[in-house]
Each structure stands twice: as structure tokens, then as C-alpha cells.
Amino acid sequence: MAQVSSSAIEELKTAIRGQLVLPDDPGFNEARSIWNAMIDCRPAMILRCAGVADVRRGIAFARANDLPLALRGGGHNIAGSALCEDGLVMDFSQMKSVRIDPIARRAYVGPGATLADFDHEAQAFGLATPLGINSTTGVAGLTLGGGFGWLSRKYGMTIDNLISADVVTAEGELLRASAESNEDLFWAIRGGGGNFGVVTSFEFALHSVGPMVYGGLVVLPFAEARDALVKYRAAAAQMPDDLSVWAVLRLAPPLPFLPAEVHGKPVIIFPMCYTGPIANGPSAVAQVKTFGTPVGEHLGEMPYAMWQQAFDPLLAPGSRNYWKSHNLANIDDGLIDALLQSIENLPSPQCEIFFGQIGAQTQRVPVNATAYSSRDTQYAMNVHGRWEDPADDERCIAWARAFFEQAAPFSLGSVYVNFMTQEEASRVADAYGPNFERLVAVKSRYDPHNLFRHNQNIRPAM
């Protein structure tokens, strides 16, 4: 780390409204711990920003002192790039504001807000926008990488609902990015990650959703998984836009509606959410029950905000996580063969492989309309390695990599940037495909010295 004088640190402390946490301060270890327990970094300092002025001050401080700079939003960040070694971490977790304009159907959201924060405010007016499937996810990171969730088949990617953003650049300038102003920057932040600046406010379009939706889980025995997946892929093409059905293969959690003898055994789970008229819910999801003979099901009306929290227990902080991901146009027979073999050899009870169904509205947007280019994706497949003991690292990582390699021939060759881990820098170009060169040009304009490089980095042209 470049030597930072104590007087410069004191000057920064007095200049900010937030808080500067240093390695000797009580609470430093807590402040540097993030969702993925595999990441163990010791920054030189953590700036908990209280507003835009603090963001500008932090950027200027990092620049002036030649410090590595990492940006930490409110959520998961599988890759761990929210931290950096011996540098400055700007933490936005206190900037959690969510303001809803129910007349204009707009949401104005700070960079530290989570999906739970967003849903709490928006659902008070029966409004929502497509945002992930876990309430503990951060809005900022999810959005900047593209973002999808239960509502995406109906309303598109998260970025397709982004109207504008306030962005602080590497030079400390505050810009408004929208279709009318700084259009190149607006294009780039819709999928290009945190490469171009710090977004201090997001403006989203909202849609009438809920507050009650119809959905839940259908759980089938593993012995029926092959037939179920074949029926699922056939049915998917005919599903209405307001129905989203995912497929998850894992060991059955001890859910109360599952018989005890199923707990801990391999199963295939179909989680689903239907946002059409509640009365039509049972008929909308009926076909899923024909994929096999359920060992348990839990379907019915529920608040949308509650469904968004249903999987939170499976993604609690403090576990070790390693993900590998492919985008798919289809679920081929050869992929199913490899998948079933992989599930028979799960290295930990928490590991799973899922197919997140997107398609529909997400595919109706031109490839060059936003930085996110994977508009041909029907399923985002994620190999989710998760375990507790560091002694299991090698085994669990090897399992995830092995299936990832087996699945590669059946994939589109692209990847969802938010599912990428730290060592996957070579895949950044794959994540952006035909849009990559344009992203390099925007990066070169707004961050020519690559200040914002602790991310899935798009390097500026030298």
C-alpha cells in the first residue's frame, strides 16, 4: 500500500459525514467480513459513506494516495471484489434510501439498499420491478450486472426497467445517466458492472404486482428427475410470461411439508411464481405437477414480498461459496446426463445446481440496447457450491468445476457476470460478447486509469 500519512487520514475523517473504520478500530473485522466466507481481505480503511459528498471525497482520496479502491453495496458479491487488500473500501450499506412515487410509478433507490428494502416500500403500493430471488441481495450489484428474477419473463431484466442513474465518475464528477443524458454511460452501466463509476441513486420503472401472488414449490423424487426435466423443457416454451418456473437439484432441506424420510435425499424442486390473476393460479401451475409424482408440494397464495424471502435461509451469510455458471438456450439430453451424475456426487449438503428460467420479455430486447448482451438466454444455470469447513474447499470447488466443464458443450458460451467468481477474468469478454469493444471505449472515456478495477474488470484501451 502507498504510505498514507496520519494527517491525511485525520483530514478525511473530519471531511466526511459517514464513518472511517481503521484496522485498529473495534468492529473492523466485522466491517470487513462479507457474505462469502471464502474471501478474507484486510483493507487499509473502510469508508462508510453517508451520501454523495462522501463518495466524491473517497474517490478523490483513493486517487490522491494511489490506493486500490473497492466498492461495497448491500448484498452478496460472490466474487469478493467488494473488498481489496491494503486499499480503501467504500461501503454504501448506510445509503439504503428507497423512495416510491406511486403516481409516476417510479422508485428512487440508494446503492446500499437490498431487495427487502425495495420490496418493503414498493409493495406498500402494490408495485415492483424485476429484482432477483433473494431479499438479502443488494439492488446495486444485481442491477449493474443485468439483474433478473421472478418478474423478468413479464417485465424484462432489471436494467430494462432502469430509467436513470446518478453516477460519480473517477474524476469525482456527478453525472446523470439516462436515455437523454450521457447516453453512452447509461448504456454501459446497464450490465457493465461497477466499471464506470459509483452509482449513488437508481431510478426504476415500477409495475403492478401483488401484493398477493400464486406460487410455491413442487418437489419430485430424484428417480424422476430425468423425465421431469424433459417435460419441463417442453412445457417452458408454452408458459405464459407471467409464470416463472425454475428447476433446482439438491438434497432436500427439512421443509415441513416434506416427509422426514425425504430430508437429506436428492430431489428435483420446481419453485414457481405466477403474477397473473390469483384465481387463475392453480390452473397456471397445474402442468408442473404433471412432471412427476410429487413427494411434497407447497402451493398457494402468498405475499410477493414473502416469496422473495423464501430462499433467504439457503443463502445466509458466513458460509463458503463457489459458483460456476453457463447461459443456456435449452436443457439438452447430454446436459441432463451430466447433471444427474453430478447430483449423485454432491460434496456437501448445501450444494445445488439450478436453472433460472428467463426468456420471454428478456429476449425481446435487442442485443445492443444495453451492455448486457445475453438476450438469447433461456436459462441461467448456476452450479452453487456451498459448505462450511475450509477443509472441504478443494473437494467442493473440484465438484463445481467438473460439472461446469461437462456442461460447457451444451451452453451458449456466454455467462451472467453476477455469477462469476474471482478467478474468471478470462470470461469477461464472454459475458459481453458483441458489446465488449464498445464497453472498452466507454471505460476508456470515463475511467481511463482503471480506478474502478476491483470487479469483473473491463480494462480501458491503453
Residue 458: helix, strand or coil by DSSP? coil
**Same domain for 252 and 116:** no
pLDDT at position 256, please?
94
pLDDT higher than threshold 60 for residue 122: yes
**Same domain for 137 and 249:** no
Q: Is residue 44 part of a domain?
A: yes
Q: Is residue 428 part of a domain?
A: no
pLDDT at position 422, please?
85
Residue 162: pLDDT band (50, 70, 90) is very high
**Same domain for 392 and 289:** yes
**Same domain for 23 and 113:** no
How many C-beta atoms surround the C-beta of residue 420 within 10 A? 23
**Same domain for 341 and 218:** yes
pLDDT tens-digit profile of 364-390? 999 999 999 999 999 999 999 999 999
Cis omega before residue 211 (within 30°)? Answer: yes
Residue 77: pLDDT band (50, 70, 90) is confident
Q: Is residue 2 part of a domain?
A: no
Q: Is residue 452 part of a domain?
A: no
| Structural domains counted in the chain | 3
**Same domain for 188 and 132:** yes
**Same domain for 248 and 204:** no
**Same domain for 37 and 156:** no
> Counting Cβ atoms within 10 Å, is residue 227 exposed (0-12), middle (13-18) or buried (19+)?
middle
pLDDT at position 380, please?
97
**Same domain for 62 and 113:** no
pLDDT higher than threshold 70 for residue 2: no
CATH number of the domain residue 439 falls in: 3.30.465.10
Pick 37 or 208 by higher pLDDT: 208
Q: Is residue 462 part of a domain?
A: no
CATH number of the domain residue 86 falls in: 3.30.43.10
Mean pLDDT of 60-69: 97
CATH number of the domain residue 394 falls in: 3.40.462.20
**Same domain for 364 and 269:** yes
pLDDT higher than threshold 90 for residue 149: yes
pLDDT higher than threshold 60 for residue 328: yes
pLDDT at position 140, please?
97
Domain end: 52, 71, 91, which one? Answer: 91
CB 52 within 8 A of CB 58: no
**Same domain for 216 and 201:** no
Share of the chain above pLDDT 90, in %: 95
194: cell is 461497477
**Same domain for 415 and 326:** yes
- Provide the domain limits for residue 314: 212-419
> Counting Cβ atoms within 10 Å, is residue 296 exposed (0-12), middle (13-18) or buried (19+)?
middle
pTM for the full model? 0.97
Domain end: 91, 107, 130, which one? Answer: 91
Average pLDDT over the chain reads 96
Mean pLDDT of 394-406: 97
